Amino acid sequence: MRRLGRCGRARRKKLLNQDVSKAELPQYVLLQKWFKKFIGTQRRKFLHTFLKPCDFTATGRGLQAMQRIRPGDTIVSIPLHFLITVDTVLSSDIGSYIKRNRQKFTPQQLLSIFLVIEAYQQEKSHWAPYIKTLPSTYSTPLYFSLEEMKLLKPQVQRKAEALRERFYRAEKYVTKFMDDNVPWLAKRFTRERFCWAWSTIDTRSVYLLTSAHSSIELEPEESNVALAPFLDLLNHRDTAKMTAWVNAETESYEIVTEDSYNKYDQVFICYGAHDNSKLLINYGFVLPHNINNICSFTFDDILSCMPAASQNKEKKIASLTEANLHRNLVCSMEGVSWSLATALKIFALPSKLLPKWKHLVQGISLGQDIDTEGQKAALLLVSNALCRAISHLDCLKSHTEVKHYDLLLQLAQDDVDILSTTLASLNKPS
C-alpha cells in the first residue's frame, strides 16, 4: 500500500484531530479496567475491538469505530450481570428492606433508589467505575426553570409538565419510604440527587423486559428499563438502523448494526422514531433536520377554522376515532398527512353525506366540492398554525439569556420550517 507523504500525513492528522479521543481520560480507563477484571480475557474483545469513547465536535461524547464496521456486525455485547436491573436492586441491601416492607415500586423508582445509594458511596460502590462516567446534570424539562417551561409551546409544555409531575410523585413516594423504613439512609435522598438518578434512568436506560414481582408495579411509563455501562455512550441518530436484543446463548445484551461505518466514524444507534419534542422531554437534546419532526393538530384546531363543521361534530369525531385517524393529525416536511387530509374532508361533509364517510377513508371521492373544502381547510389550518409558530419564535428570541435557549430555539424553528414547507406545498397548483 502506498505510504502517505508528509502533506498526506498532515492532512490525515488534521482530520483525525477534529474528534478528540476520550479513551485515555481517567474515568474511561477505570471503566475499561473494571470490565477486564470482571469479564475475563475470553470476553475482552467486545469492548475494545470495535469502539472507543471519543469527544465529537457535533455531538459531544460518543463511541468511535476503531475499524470498519459492516451491516450485521455486533457492535456492543454487554454481559447481563453488568446491567443494573430490577433484579440488581432487589438482591442488594436496600432490596431486602423493599421486599420486607411489601410496598410496590415501579422499576424506574427502584433503579433511582439504587443509583442514589451507590453514587453516595463513591469509591466504595462496586458500580463506581460506571457511575463516574455518567453526566453530573441533564437538560430535560426537570432541569428547566419556570420561565423556560413557559417558553415551550402549549402542546409540548403539557407533556413536559406531565414528566415533572410524574417525578414529583415518585420523589414524594420514595422519600416517605426512606424516612419510614431506612431513616439512616434518608438524608442521602435530596431532590438534587434523586432528580439526577431519575434523569439518568430517563435518558440512558435500555429496554429490558421487567418480570413480575410482588414488589414491582408495572407502570407503562416506568417499566422495562435497565442501565448498561459503556453501551449508554452510543448517541442517537434518526436514520440509524440497528437491533437490540438479549442473546440467551452468551447471556449478553447486544446491539447489531444494519449500517456501515469507516474507521474513526462515530457509531450511532436509534432510540426510536422520535420528533424533537419527544427527544427533548425524554432525553434532553434535539437534532437538526430530524426526519421525524411533525406539527400536530387537535380537533379543536380543525373546528376553529371550519365553523360549519360543528354540525354533527360528535358523529364526525366518533367516525374519525373509529378509523384511527385522530392518531396522526399532523404535517411534516413532506406535507399534510393522509390522516389529516382525510379528517378535514370528513369534517367538511354535510349531514346528508355523513353516512358515506367511510368512502373517504377508502380513498373514494365524494365530489369536487368536498375535496375543495378539505383543501381550503388545510390551507387555513396550516396558515393559522404558522402565524402562531412565527409569533412564538419571535417571542423566544427575546429570551436569549435562559440556560436552555438553544434547545428551545431549535424546537420553535422546527415548527416554522415544517409549517412553511407544508403551506408552500398546499399552494402549489395540483
Is 50 exceeded by the pLDDT of residue 65?
yes
Crossing angle (nearest 10°) for helices 191-204 and 107-121: 120
- Listing DSSP states for 132-163 in one string gives TTS-S---SGGG--HHHHHTS-HHHHHHHHHH
Return the residue matching grid coordinates 360528535: 314
Alpha carbon of residue 43 to chain centroid: 31
3-state SS assignment for residue 78: strand
Q: What's the CA gap between 390 and 414, in Å, rounded?
A: 11
CA distance 74 to 243: 9
The burial class, CB within 10 Å (0-12 / 13-18 / 19+), for 318 is: exposed
- In the structure, what pLDDT confidence band is assigned to residue 18 with cuts at 50, 70 and 90? low
Give mean pLDDT, residues 324-347: 94
Does residue 16 register a pLDDT over 60? no
Measure the CA–CA gap between 45 and 60, rounded to whole angstroms.
Answer: 25
User: In the prediction, which pLDDT does 6 show?
Assistant: 44
Residue 163's nearest CA partner among 192, 139, 184 is 139
Strand, helix or coil for residue 164: helix
Q: Tell me the angle at which helices 338-347 and 313-322 cross, rounded to the nearest 10 degrees.
A: 150
Amino acid at 213: H
Furthest CA-CA distance within the chain = 81
Give the angle 364-327-292 at the CA atoms, nearest 5°: 105
Question: pLDDT band at 102, cuts 50/70/90?
Answer: confident
Q: Which residues pair with 226 in a beta bridge?
A: 206
15-43 burial, b for 16+ CB within 10 Å, e for fewer?
A: eeeebeebbebebbeebbebbeeebeeeb
Residue 318 has pLDDT above 50, yes or no: yes
Of 9-23, 42-56, 237-251, 360-374, the least confident: 9-23
- 154 Cβ contact partners less than 8 Å away, ≥ 6 residues apart: none
- Gap between the Cα atoms of 224 and 221, Å rounded: 9
Q: How large a percentage of the chain has pLDDT more than 90? A: 70
**pLDDT class of 39 with cuts at 50, 70, 90:** low
- Model pLDDT, residue 312: 84
Q: Which of 35-39, 145-149, 231-235, 299-303 has the lowest mean pLDDT?
A: 35-39
Residues 392-417: tens digit of each pLDDT: 999 999 999 999 999 999 999 999 99
pTM: 0.89
Residues 397, 405: Cα–Cα separation, whole Å: 9
Q: Model confidence over 192-246: pLDDT tens digits?
A: 999 999 999 999 999 999 888 889 989 888 999 999 999 999 999 999 999 999 9
pLDDT for res 1? 39
Give the chain's mean pLDDT: 89
Q: What is the mean pLDDT of residues 102-122?
A: 95
The alpha carbon of residue 340 and the mean position of all alpha carbons in its chain are separated, in whole angstroms, by 25
Q: Quote the CA–CA distance of 339 and 378 in Å, as a whole number.
A: 12
- Domains of the chain with bracketed CATH: 86-227 (3.90.1410.10), 295-427 (no CATH)
Place of cell 437534532: 287
CB contact at 8 A, 366 and 360:
yes
**Which cell numbers hold the place of 59?**
455531538
Whole-number Å distance between alpha carbons of 265 and 51: 10
CA-nearest of 281, 285, 294 to 329 is: 294
Region at 171 (left for phi over 0; alpha for psi -120 to 50; beta for the rest): alpha
